[in-house]
Amino acid sequence: MTDSKNINNPVGQGGGQRKRQSRAERQNNGPHRNRDRQNAADQKAELVRKMREKARAAEETTQADDTAAQS
């Protein structure tokens, strides 16, 4: 039995036929990865938004304390 080195020619692989993979998919860069990247970007945007809100709230608290201390 010969061993194939080409993923699109699964001679001797067993287990039936395999889906032909594009070059991008072989490099783990297929359409599923685009969805993963979009989800990651959405999560990052949400995290940044939350961090900015916390920073803004902390800044307002600090300014309120400074005004109270000056009075």
- The model's pLDDT over 26-53, given as tens digits with 9 standing for 90+, comes to 777 777 778 888 999 999 999 999 999 9
The CA distance from 27 to 30, in Å, is: 8
pLDDT of residue 40: 93
pLDDT of residue 10: 60
Report pTM. 0.50
pLDDT greater than 90 at residue 63: no
Instruction: Tell me the DSSP string of 1-35.
Output: -PPP--TTS-TTT-SS------HHHHTT-SHHHHH
